[in-house]
Homo-oligomer: A and B are copies of this chain.
Amino acid sequence: MNRARQTVTLTADLIILTIRDGVLSVLLVERENKPFQGRLALPGGFLRGDESLEETAARELAEETGLDAVGLRLRQVGVYSAPDRDPRRPRVVTCAFLAIAADLPVPVAGSDARAARWVPVARAADPGLAFDHDRILADAVDLARTLLQFSTIATVFCGPEFTIGDLREVYETVWGVELDKPNFHRKVTDADGFLEPTGDKRPSATGRPAALYRAGAAAELVPPMMRPRSGA
């Protein structure tokens, strides 16, 4: 009955974002099984008996990318529970988690042999993803954009060592704007605990070599990196 309490199955879906060739990209898998067989979808998996959803997400992340989620920042995007979002019975409700990764060599063939690939976010909704994953992806990207403002998570897009130019490209790519180089430089070097100089430099093909940095200890970014107001 509709008024009866319902049992459901739970999944954790992952939005794994990275920047490849200057383009914000998301890891998608091709579905092997019905429903939406053959369609692209966010990687994810079912909750197991002894897990929290966070643990499910971390396990899936490891399987898909080989990344250890320990120390990696997984964030809840939200729960998606519309009754018709998944045709299966019992109902499938999902909790979406955002993960941000440095450019990985290639989707690692995890224990799961599914065909995983990076797809530019701008093109992900083109034929349309399975289930309500278009909406979930959009929400996750929104969240990522907001996190760049108030947290130091942008460094995770970079490798262990990076230049301020690298970091600026992360902001420009995710936000889709151009930022003033000198002001950006001052802003991030002034922010407390954001960056830690390594002392080394990275030579560039042409021009002055850039100083290298590591991610600092701070998780919160104060003062925040203000995102240029689009529109009026």
Q: Which residues of A contact B (CB under 8 A)?
A: 1-10, 46-54, 76, 78-79, 81-83, 90, 93, 95, 222, 229
B8 A47 Cβ-Cβ under 8 A: yes
Given contacts A49-B2, A52-B82, A79-B95, contact A9 B9 (CB under 8 A): no
Residues of B within 8 A of A229 (CB): 222
Residues of B within 8 A of A1 (CB): 49
B5 A48 Cβ-Cβ under 8 A: yes
Identical chains bound together, number: 2
Known: A2-B49, A8-B9. 19 other contacts (CB 8 A): A1-B49, A2-B50, A3-B48, A3-B49, A5-B9, A5-B46, A5-B48, A6-B9, A6-B10, A7-B8, A8-B10, A10-B93, A47-B81, A52-B81, A52-B82, A53-B79, A53-B81, A54-B81, A79-B95
Given contacts A5-B48, A49-B6, contact A79 B76 (CB under 8 A): yes
Give the shortest distance, in Å, between A216 (CB) and chain B (any CB). Answer: 16
In the complex, what distance in Å separates the CA atom of A66 from the CA atom of B219?
41
B83 A5 Cβ-Cβ under 8 A: no
Residues of B within 8 A of A79 (CB): 53, 76, 79, 95
Residue pairs across A and B with Cβ atoms less than 8 A apart, 21 shown, are A3-B49, A4-B48, A4-B49, A5-B9, A5-B48, A6-B9, A6-B46, A6-B47, A7-B7, A7-B9, A8-B9, A8-B10, A8-B47, A49-B83, A52-B81, A52-B82, A52-B83, A53-B81, A76-B78, A79-B95, A222-B229
Residues of B within 8 A of A222 (CB): 229
Query: Which residue of the partner chain B has the closest CB to A12?
Result: B81
In the complex, what distance in Å separates the CA atom of A4 from the CA atom of B53?
14
Most-contacted residue by chain B among A6, A46, A53, A83 (CB, 10 A): A6
In the complex, what distance in Å separates the CA atom of A79 from the CA atom of B79?
7
In the complex, what distance in Å separates the CA atom of A4 from the CA atom of B52?
14
